[in-house]
Structure 1
Amino acid sequence: MMVPNNTTKPETFLFKDGYDIPVYGLANGMFYYIHIPAIVCLLASLSCAVATIVLSFKRRKAGEFFTKWSKGERLVVYISTCDGMFCASHLMDHLQILFTLDHVRPKELCAFYGFVMTVFVVAQILIVNVVAVHVFVMMFLNKKISFGKYDSCLIIWAFGVPIFGATVAATYEQFGPMGIACLYDAIKGHVANMVLTTIPVPVILVANIVLYILTFIRIRSDTLIRKYRFGTYANAVGRHIKAAKRMLMFVCAFVLQWWCFGLFGAWSLFVDNPLEIPEILNYFGVVFTNLGDVFNLVVYLLVLRNKSRQLMSKPQQIQNEKSDDLQELAVTIAKKQHNIPKSEREAILEMIKNARSTDV
């Protein structure tokens, strides 16, 4: 998807649209080295997207999606759905080019592939950006962002914006062949390419990285503070840290998937011809961009493993939390014991002693 067409800038005025440019790789023998790895990566990623969604609904009831599923669990489904739809449309695109050794035809089909990929790529980018902002707000402001009833605000933002943008682009015939795949027409689609991906992807990528670094630093700081605190405060901080770490893992997977695409887009802003960008970056992009849900599935399995360990250790954790609360109460009593009558103080200490013996 990242590979530019193999024309030079002075020649583009001779072409009406992307169908006038040669298929990338046929002339220099790189055709199969692009499409076959892309197809393998897309098949792997599509399989992982389906696996992630199936595992999610296998663990939780579908009817409780908006009522009992956590925000993180719902976000996993949204992200995997976006990446799965991107992989499915991009896979069909690559397969048709591979078998026909030509651009995708008819033009309407190529434009449809470009429309679908644009909608779900931009939607995924916006969703992960919401995750990064949500974790940042949760850790720094101790607040949670509301996604609206049935996640209406998130869905309108993440899917409404790209659908509107892609519809406008389709109206102006911005979608079509770009030499290696169907996305934005290599000749007529420069405006849509710039507005929908070239500028937003690097900007959001950098924003997510900055938010990730700041949140990671805050998590480390809160973890150190928690070591010297106990009781209800420490337990609440611990739950916040665990939730933040889980969400940050998906932000990290996003950065791993899109770093090459973002770098390519940023680089293209500073050169007159995309062919001036090192070609090796295109091949990295073919691999990383098309393996998105492989990264997401790995993160999801790590989250499941951590949750399983927490459930197994939950009885001991509850006992430790009770012990911490009792210790906090004992410290409070010690600080104020000169204000408490002896008989009452002895009664409270006896209560603590009995509670500890009951926990054991």
Structure 2
Amino acid sequence: MNFNITVSEEDTRYNIPVVGLGTPYFYLIHILTLTCSVCSITSVLTILVISFRFKTAHTFFKSWSKCERFAVYLALCDGFLCLGQCMDHIQMVIAKDHVHPIELCEFYGFITFLFCAAQMFLVSIIAINAFVLMKFSKNIFLGKYDWKLYSLMFGIPFFECLGATFADEIGPIGAMCGVAGNISFLFFSTIPVLIVMTMNTVLYTLTWCKIRTETKRINSTIGNTCPGSKATQAAKTMSLFVLSFLIQWWAVAIYGTWKAAVEDDPVEIFIIAMVFANMGGVLNGIVYLYMHKNRMKKLYPTT
């Protein structure tokens, strides 16, 4: 596939083609990404408005359930990720070039890397929490004010991003700003995504099997009208967040694997990966509406 090349004399990281420039693919990539990002941001704002409408911020760590806090954390990760993507792609569409200066491109790449990694850590913790809750009937303590969760979510990714930035491994990658270079992309993106996807798929499957078994046991004992225990309902909601994550990132895992195996990766796979990666806010919004609906049923039961 022929791409026009935009080169910067100041930084060798610009010595790569702008993907799709001069072809319909250029606008297709950026318009689809922007559309998905705007939809996700809208969904994120809806989640936050509804959440803080029914509960106050000063009781966030006291009366909010884990699932409710997880929903807010996921929404914030998706929101900042998509906001950074919007700024990145809008600038590329206007300039029809890579993002300049390089420091701004590094900032966009830093934001993308940070919140992608934070979301992966968060969803992995959610998956482990759901599995432990169903398998061992134990609730993982995240520390006062969820400090343990914050440390994993942002501590490790922040220092990874910082190291990659100082090593000049973040910059233009053709259609956006991110982790540049095949080796860096492999170790900073592809391998972590594959590990997280595999682990969460296994945990999701085991948890959902346990949920089905427990639900059947309760229904056979009490009856079909019983909604199930609080632990089962919480684990089910957490598992749906994990499923949302798997849907969001499956295409990125395939794209990364293809990129590692084949030097010339098809732009079509990249477009699919970008669409799903930026639809996270919408997917998590669907799960949140399911959770909110169940909460409303408990608050206002029908007679």
> TM over 0.5, yes or no?
yes
The one-letter code sitting in structure 2 at the alignment partner of 1:144 is N
Please say if 1:252 is aligned against 2:240. Answer: no
SS in 1 for 2:98: coil
Query: Residue 45 of structure 1: CA displacement?
Result: 0.8
CA contact 2:252–2:274 (8 Å) conserved in 1: no
**Map of 2:213 onto structure 1:** 221
CA contact 2:251–2:269 (8 Å) conserved in 1: yes
1:226-305 to structure 2, matched below 5 A, reads: 226-230=218-222, 238-269=229-260, 271-273=261-263, 275=264, 277-305=265-293
Residues 126-169 of structure 1, C-alpha deviations (whole Å, 9 max, x = no match): 10110001000010111111101110100001110000100111
Evaluate the alpha carbon distance shift between residue 107 and residue 172 of structure 1 in structure 2; reply closer, same or farther with a 3 A threshold: same
The structure that has the greater radius of gyration is 1
Please say if 1:158 is aligned against 2:153. Answer: yes
Query: Residue 258 of structure 1: CA displacement?
Result: 0.7
TM-score, length-normalised on structure 2? 0.91
Query: Residue 230 of structure 1: CA displacement?
Result: 4.3
Query: Residue 237 of structure 1: CA displacement?
Result: 5.8
**What RMSD over aligned residues (CA atoms) do the two structures have, in Å?**
2.4
Please say if 1:125 is aligned against 2:120. Answer: yes
CA contact 1:114–1:183 (8 Å) conserved in 2: yes
Query: Residue 291 of structure 1: CA displacement?
Result: 1.0
Consecutive unaligned residues of structure 2, counting only runs of 5 or more, are 5-10
**Map of 2:198 onto structure 1:** 206
Residues 244-301 of structure 1, C-alpha deviations (whole Å, 9 max, x = no match): 11111111111111110012223333x141x2x4443222112111111011111111
Q: Distance in 2 between the 1:90 and 1:76 partners?
A: 21
Consecutive unaligned residues of structure 1, counting only runs of 5 or more, are 8-15, 317-360
SS in 2 for 1:68: coil
SS in 1 for 2:201: helix
1:131-150 to structure 2, matched below 5 A, reads: 131-150=126-145
Query: Residue 23 of structure 1: CA displacement?
Result: 0.9
**Map of 1:350 onto structure 2:** none
CA contact 2:172–2:178 (8 Å) conserved in 1: yes
Q: Distance in 2 between the 1:77 and 1:196 partners?
A: 26
Q: How many residues align?
A: 297
Evaluate the alpha carbon distance shift between residue 5 and residue 39 of structure 1 in structure 2; reply closer, same or farther with a 3 A threshold: farther
SS in 2 for 1:199: helix
CA contact 2:98–2:176 (8 Å) conserved in 1: yes
CA contact 2:3–2:22 (8 Å) conserved in 1: no
The alignment-based identity, stated in percent, is: 37
Query: Residue 53 of structure 1: CA displacement?
Result: 1.5
Q: Distance in 2 between the 1:262 and 1:22 partners?
A: 23
**Map of 1:168 onto structure 2:** 163
TM-score, length-normalised on structure 1? 0.77
SS in 1 for 2:178: strand
Evaluate the alpha carbon distance shift between residue 5 and residue 307 of structure 1 in structure 2; reply closer, same or farther with a 3 A threshold: farther
**Map of 1:306 onto structure 2:** 294
Q: Distance in 2 between the 1:85 and 1:228 partners?
A: 45
CA contact 1:38–1:287 (8 Å) conserved in 2: yes
